[in-house]
């Protein structure tokens, strides 16, 4: 027997402007299509059955990555490949380059978007953890203007975000602070696969070079049931600590204790907890090496 996977009947409109997209999105059962790498497969499996798709691929005004004052601004339509190529993103947040190197494969990265990744709200999405670690803000646009939502409050749960009818994600803003280093560490079963577990760290060090102190810590986890992709207890522990093997190992242990992985085809629960402890410590080590040394482009970076 021959099976076909095809989406059910759907109307399609190509948005000609953000305002046009927003007015189309005010209709019921209407979804944005960006890269389509998650939505189209879900439609084929009938896990999503929108009545209308609004294609935003023509909206060049949503495709940018730039530094604006002390914020890195990433348009929702920036592709994974754009973020990986962005020198300004890599300079201030090597965590995004680390993460993008291990998101899917080059074909998916060429078309999949930053906005689509966050809005898909897959519990294994890499950028959700990276943006949570960086304490980014989502800019949600509606016909009445923009509202700003911390990325840490953006996901309501698996495959669900705070974006409402008539709205779209327009931009992600990341605060840039001096003395900050960041890194992302992921274990997958094979190249291009989703995470078994992954951890991202953004560390700010103050004090002297001889006596550095952790003055802010962001820790993101993916694929392990961390609430809002955040290792909050480990972050709280790190504040005021001396960066080093001891505090990083302790933070990893705390992160492992407080996440909620489930056993699945990617591995048993205790293995995932082990990975969280180890990957958190590794990400912290590399983030610290990159912090405040101007070496964010190279220290600890892999090629
Ligand atoms: C083979 C494969 C492997 C992958 N591996 C990984 C991986 O290892 N790690 C990882 O993190 N990701 C992985 N992905 C997912 C990848 O990151 C996709 O880019 C991402 O799922 C969705 O981006 P998209 O632009 O294709 O979104 P789409 O599929 O177009 O949309 C996804 C959802 O977001 C909504 N949406 C999109 N843009 C907006 C917007 N601006 N405003 C409001 N809603 C919006 C859509 O309506 C839809 O609900 C993989 C995907 C594939 C196909």
Taking only the tens place, the pLDDT of each residue in 115-127 is 999 999 999 999 9
Ligand 1 geometric centre to CA of 114 (Å): 8
**Contact between 41 and 146 (Cβ < 8 Å):** no
Averaged pLDDT for residues 135-145: 97
* Residue 1, pLDDT above cutoff 60: no
Span from the CA of 175 to the centroid of ligand 1 (angstroms): 24
Closest ligand 1 atom to the C-alpha of 77? 41
Atom number in ligand 1 closest to CA 128: 11
> How far is residue 51's CA from residue 238's CA, in Å, rounded to a whole number?
48
- For residue 210, pLDDT over 50 is answered with yes
Atom 41 of ligand 1, residue of closest alpha carbon: 169
- What does the block give as tokens for 113? 């978007």
167 lines ligand 1 (CB under 6 A): no
Percent above pLDDT 70 for the chain: 95
Per cent of the chain over pLDDT 90 is 90
Count other Cβ atoms within 10 Å, centred on residue 27. Answer: 14
Q: From the CB of 200, is ligand 1 less than 6 Å away? A: no
Question: Which letter does DSSP use for residue 223 in this model?
Answer: S
Decide if pLDDT at 298 tops 60. Answer: no
| Residue 180 near residue 199, CB atoms below 8 Å | no
Quote the pTM value.
0.94
C-alpha atoms less than 13 angstroms from C-alpha of 268 in its C-beta half-sphere:
2
Q: Give dist(CA 194, CA 189) in Å, integer.
A: 8
For the stretch 23-53, pLDDT in tens is 999 999 999 999 999 999 999 998 999 999 9
The pLDDT score that the predictor gives to residue 12 is 97
Residue 108 Cα, ligand 1 centroid: separation in angstroms?
9
At residue 172, does pLDDT exceed 90?
A: yes
Among 4, 2, 257, 228, smallest CA distance to 123 is for 228
Tokens of 61: 């005004």
194 lines ligand 1 (CB under 6 A): yes
295 has pLDDT over 90: no
Whose structure tokens read 């700003």?
148
- Give me the mean pLDDT over the 258-271 stretch: 97
Q: How far apart are CA 245 and CA 230, in angstroms?
A: 21
Residue the block writes with tokens 């209709």: 27
Find out whether the beta carbon of 32 lies less than 6 Å from any atom of ligand 1: yes
Q: At what angle do helices 94-101 and 126-133 cross, to 10 degrees?
A: 170
pLDDT at 2: 52
The Å distance, Cα 251 to ligand 1 centre, comes to 30
Rounded to 5 degrees, what angle do the CA atoms 29, 35, 39 make?
40
Residue 89 tokens read as 């993103």
| Ligand 1 binding pocket includes 119 (Cβ within 6 Å) | yes
| Tokens, residue 69 | 């004052």
Distance (Å, rounded) from C-alpha 113 to C-alpha 104? 12
Residue 301 reports pLDDT greater than 70: no
pLDDT band, residue 4 (cuts 50/70/90) = low
Residue 85, classed as helix, strand or coil, is: helix
């Amino acid at each position: 027997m021959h099976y076909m996977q095809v989406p059910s009947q759907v109307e399609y409109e190509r948005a000609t402007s953000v305002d046009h997209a927003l007015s189309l999105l005010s209709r019921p059962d209407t979804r944005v299509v960006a890269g389509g790498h998650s939505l189209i497969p879900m439609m084929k499996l009938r896990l999503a059955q929108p009545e209308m798709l609004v294609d935003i691929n023509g909206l060049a005004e949503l495709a940018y990555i730039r530094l604006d004052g002390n914020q890195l601004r990433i348009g929702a339509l920036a592709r994974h490949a754009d973020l990986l190529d962005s020198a300004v993103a890599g300079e201030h947040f090597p965590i995004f380059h680390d993460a993008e190197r291990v998101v899917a494969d080059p074909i998916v990265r060429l078309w999949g978007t930053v906005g689509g990744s966050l809005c898909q709200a897959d519990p294994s999405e890499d950028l959700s953890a990276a943006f949570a670690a960086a304490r980014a803000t989502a800019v949600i646009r509606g016909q009445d203007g923009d509202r700003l939502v911390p990325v840490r409050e953006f996901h309501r749960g698996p495959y669900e975000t705070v974006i409402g009818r008539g709205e779209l994600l327009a931009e992600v803003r990341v605060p840039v602070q001096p003395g900050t280093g960041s890194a992302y560490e992921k274990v997958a079963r094979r190249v291009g696969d989703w995470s078994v577990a992954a951890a991202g760290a953004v560390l700010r060090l103050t004090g002297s070079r001889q006596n550095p102190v952790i003055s802010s810590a962001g820790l993101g986890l993916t694929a392990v049931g961390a609430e809002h992709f955040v290792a909050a207890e480990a972050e709280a522990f790190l504040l005021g600590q001396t960066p080093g093997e001891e505090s990083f190992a302790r933070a990893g242990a705390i992160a492992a204790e407080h996440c909620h992985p489930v056993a699945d085809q990617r591995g048993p629960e205790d293995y995932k907890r082990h990975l969280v402890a180890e990957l958190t410590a590794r990400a912290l080590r590399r983030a610290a090496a990159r912090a405040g040394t101007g070496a964010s482009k190279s220290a600890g970076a892999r090629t």
